[in-house]
Each structure stands twice: as C-alpha cells, then as structure tokens.
Amino acid sequence: MKLIVIRGLTVVYLASPATWAEALERVPIGWTHPIDKNSAQIQLVEDSLGDRIGSVRSEYALDCGKAKSSTERAICSDPAALAADGALGRAFALLRDRLPEKEKGDLKRSQIAWIHDRDENCGAETDLLAGCLAKQSIERQKFLEGRPQAGPGTPTPIEPRFFFRGGGKKIKTSVEAFKFNPARGPGEKKFNAEMEKFVQRALRGMDDEYDLDGSSTYFVDLKASLAYASPQLISAHLNYESFEGQPHPYREYNNINVDLKTGRSLSFDDLLDKENAEKIFSYCKTFLKNEKAEHQKSEGFSEPSDEVNMSEVVEKTGRIDNWSFGAELATVSYDDDAFGGYAECMCSCEIPYTILRPLVKASFPLP
C-alpha cells in the first residue's frame, strides 16, 4: 500500500502501484486547492503500518446500523456527509496520536463541544441538514489538520492548540488557536507571537474563584480560524467571547495578518492609500446600512433604523486588525456594540476582490 500524507495528518489510502496523478485525484473532501507534488506539505510513502492505520479508520467510522439521532441518520443517508464524517474522524485520531498526553483530554473536550455546536447550528436546516453537516465536518477537518479555509497553505506545518480549564467556581476557559511548529522564519515567529498574546489574554484569570449561585457560568471562549494561508500571507480570524457577570456576554473580533516574506504584521497603510481608503469607507457605509436594516427587520425591532455614522465607519474600518482575507473577498468585522449600541447592527462589511484589488497598493500580498 502507498499513502499520500498531507502535513502528517490527512491520509489517502492507495493500493500499489500508484502514481502521483492517481494520488492527487484521491485527496480527501475539503482540500480544494492545487497541490504541488514537490511541496513540503506532501509526502508519498510506502506504508508498513497499513493494518494500524486501517484500524484507526474503522474505529472512527460511524456505524450506520446503529444510527439513532436525526444527525446520525442524516449523515448516513448522504454519501457526501458520510465521507466528510469519516475523513474528520481520521483527522481527529491522527492528531490525537501526535499530541502529548496532557493535551489529548483538551482535544477530546474540544471535539465534544464542537459536535454540540454543529448539531445546534445545523438543527434548523431541516431540509438541508446533510449538506450543513458535511460542510461543518469539512471545516472542522481543516482546523484539526491546520489547513486554511482558503489558500494553498504554508510550507511549514501549522498545528491547532487546545486549552480547556475551569468550571464550578472558576471561569470555564476554552481556547482553540494555532501555531507554526516549528516556527522557522521571522514571519512564522511573528504569527506565533501575535497568536500567543490572545491565548494568554484568554487564559488570564482562569484560576480565579467566584461566588457563583449555581445559576450562572462564567466563561471565556477564544476560537481561531485560518481564513487564508500561503507562503506570503497568513490571515487568522479570532472570535473572543466572555461572560464574567456583566449584563450580557461580551464579544469581539480580531485578526492577525502577517506578511510571511517580510516578517511584519501588516497595517492599514500597507493596504490602501488615503484616496482609495475613502472609496472603501464609502462602500462599507452603504453595505452596513443595508446590513443594519436587514438585521433590525429580522429581529423585529419596533422602529428599525439604518443609521450608520461615517466617522465610526472610518475609525473601525481603518484598522487592519478588523480585516480578514479569504479566497474571493475581504471581511471587515465590527464588535457587537458598533453602529448604535449593543446588538443594534451585528454587522460586517464584505468587500469582493473585484472591488478591492484595483484599489490596494501593489506591494500588499492580496490573495
């Protein structure tokens, strides 16, 4: 048997003899970008451990003969959802085998929490349940394998990190992050350092005790995702949420954008000059007015408003840490209290590259 191994995590099983063309045709669901057979991400090897790896594959396969829940039945009824679920199970098992013992439990707790969120997020999609489950499984597989949502990836492996702590009278702390391992160049080291700042912020105070009455759970939740990664640019999105006794949960969004070639964190001045920045501010104001009106209409506001203050658009859109970069568009995220107060807008500005590309500076590593 031969294997194609992507970053040591994703495995495609091939019977000998096998060619590169055949191998690349069998790359698992979710890998949607061209692959260079000479890339450091990929290794074609003779497998002397076929029996062991095969047992891992079967261990995490869903037994459709015992499917009980609506989620399990939906997965078993749809070939794409079943294939995605199987690929995810293998990714989980292979990552678990690589982690130190002290991190295996955090990985398991993270996966249990993800399954709960997946079922909750897809539960309302009655007619499209299988498709939703397949999509969620593909995205989770990418996370466990350290692969970006878009882009060809980086030569150096990126690994997910997990921290689960607390409960009871302590803050329930959940962190899912990334790191280059090993971090070789200045750009990779810069990314790791920036990510570590957010991790340490989330972990701060996790050992403090609170006088809880049993009806409240204090929590801090940090979830990172890789929006885009290439040998030149890495863009990571971070969703931070906490409840520590305030009237409502606090939530904010941050992004890490690093030029891996120069080793610098990118700035808004790297992205746009003053004249073109004004065009993007105007575009986002119009986009946000529509977003706010739709949000308030769907939430049943008694007096819906589409009012968006231009100075606030300029202030918040003019910060590169509010920007993430994907395959076809950039997304500017705003905190929950933006444009009118808490939950008044819950907006983001999506800028297709067909609009952004003619405006950005030539030196900016836009995907």
For the segment 293-318, the average pLDDT, to the nearest whole number, is 90
Q: Give the model's pLDDT for residue 214.
A: 56
- The total number of residues shown for the chain amounts to 367
Q: Give the model's pLDDT for residue 339.
A: 87
Q: Give the model's pLDDT for residue 41.
A: 39
For the segment 78-97, the average pLDDT, to the nearest whole number, is 89
Lowest-pLDDT choice from 25-39, 95-109, 174-188:
25-39
This prediction has a pTM of: 0.79
Which pLDDT band, with edges at 50, 70 and 90, does 185 fall under?
Answer: very high
For 195-214, write each residue's pLDDT tens digit. Answer: 999 999 988 866 666 665 55
Q: Give the model's pLDDT for residue 7.
A: 38
Residue indicated by tokens 């009118």: 340
Share of the chain above pLDDT 90, in %: 44
For 253-263, write each residue's pLDDT tens digit. Answer: 999 999 999 99
Which pLDDT band, with edges at 50, 70 and 90, does 358 fall under?
Answer: very high
Beta bridge partners, 357, equal none
Q: Give the model's pLDDT for residue 167.
A: 64
Beta bridge partners, 356, equal none
Q: Give the model's pLDDT for residue 128.
A: 84
Q: Give the model's pLDDT for residue 215.
A: 58
Which pLDDT band, with edges at 50, 70 and 90, does 158 fall under?
Answer: very high
pLDDT(147) > 80: yes
For 8-63, write each residue's pLDDT tens digit. Answer: 334 443 444 444 454 444 444 333 334 444 443 344 433 333 333 333 344 456 77
Q: Give the model's pLDDT for residue 47.
A: 36
Q: Give the model's pLDDT for residue 287.
A: 95
Q: Give the model's pLDDT for residue 57.
A: 42
Are 30 and 84 spatial neighbours (Cβ–Cβ below 8 Å)? yes
Q: Which of 183, 184, 166, 164 is nearest to 174 (CA)?
A: 164
Distance, CA of 237 to CA of 30 (rounded, Å): 19
Lowest-pLDDT choice from 39-53, 66-80, 97-111, 325-339:
39-53
Question: What does the buried/exposed string (b/e) look like for 24-50 if buried means 16 or more CB atoms within 10 Å of the residue's CB?
Answer: beebbbbbeeebeeebebbebeebeee
For 323-352, write each residue's pLDDT tens digit. Answer: 999 999 999 999 888 888 888 888 999 999
Q: Give the model's pLDDT for residue 260.
A: 96
Higher pLDDT, 226 or 55: 226
Report phi then psi at 333, rounded to 5.
Answer: -100, 145
**What is the residue-wise DSSP string for 116-161?**
HHHHHHHTT-STTHHHHHHHHHHHHHHHHTT--SSS---SS-EEEE
Q: What is the mean pLDDT of the chain?
A: 81
